Amino acid sequence: MINNILPALVLGLTTIASTALPAAPVHAEDQKPEQVHVRGSIVTYSGSALKVKTREGQTVDVTLADGWKLASVANAAVTDIKPGDFVGIASLPNAGGGDGALEVLIFPPAMKGAGEGSYGWDLKPNSSMTNATVADAVKGVDGRTVTVSYHGKEKKIAIPDGTPVVTIAPATNDDLVPGAAVFIPAEKAASGPLAHQVLVGKNGVVPPM
């Protein structure tokens, strides 16, 4: 199941780019559904229905599409980040230049290059998501700084001590228990969010993206 979710997950982590970039004229039939990210904790799960209490305090009914995929996030360490790794880093601009990481997702090697680029992101106002390859990692007094490369460009991102670092792990439907934290990239629909993939935190881990 983990192999099945990875392409969908990378797509979910980059779909907001389509709204962050200038839009080219498109025909109505070419328009894709508006994307929405649901972050929160499970209230109930049954069949194709997942009720989530969002981080904003609202209760949202998420419909799980046919063939939906499930995976979990597991804790990793900043020391696990090595040159050559493909990572997804949500970050904010630093006043002194460069970016400061809000979270780091270490992708499995098989997904290196998928969704590569740097895009607007909705974790916090003005945040971005950069999916890129680690060129180098330098330890500093207050954490580490990584240089990541994508499409011939480079970006330096500081990773302060305490920044959540996670990776992807297997999950089963039994992990969808009340109180478990979830991150759900979904399509906006009249009946509520429609999800093709779900990331769930296990053992108290909160998906930080």
pLDDT at residue number 111: 80
pLDDT at residue number 24: 39
What does pTM read for this prediction?
Answer: 0.84
Q: 205, 165 in Cβ contact below 8 A? A: no
pLDDT at residue number 85: 95
Residues of the chain with pLDDT under 70: 1-31, 140-142
pLDDT at residue number 115: 86
CB neighbours of residue 78 within 10 Å? 20
pLDDT at residue number 129: 95
Q: Give SS3 for 140.
A: strand
Domains of the chain in start order, with CATH, are 2-73+168-201 (2.40.50.140), 75-166 (no CATH)
pLDDT at residue number 33: 79
Measure the CA–CA gap between 196 and 31, rounded to whole angstroms. Answer: 18
List, for residues 100-124, the tens digit of each pLDDT value.
999 999 998 888 888 899 999 999 9
User: Which residues lie closer than 8 Å to 181 by C-beta, 6 or more apart?
Assistant: 40, 41, 42, 200, 201, 205, 206, 207
Measure the CA–CA gap between 132 and 112, rounded to whole angstroms. Answer: 8
Please report the sign of the dihedral spanned by the C-alpha atoms of residue 113, residue 117, residue 119, residue 123.
positive
Quote the DSSP letter at residue 111. Answer: G
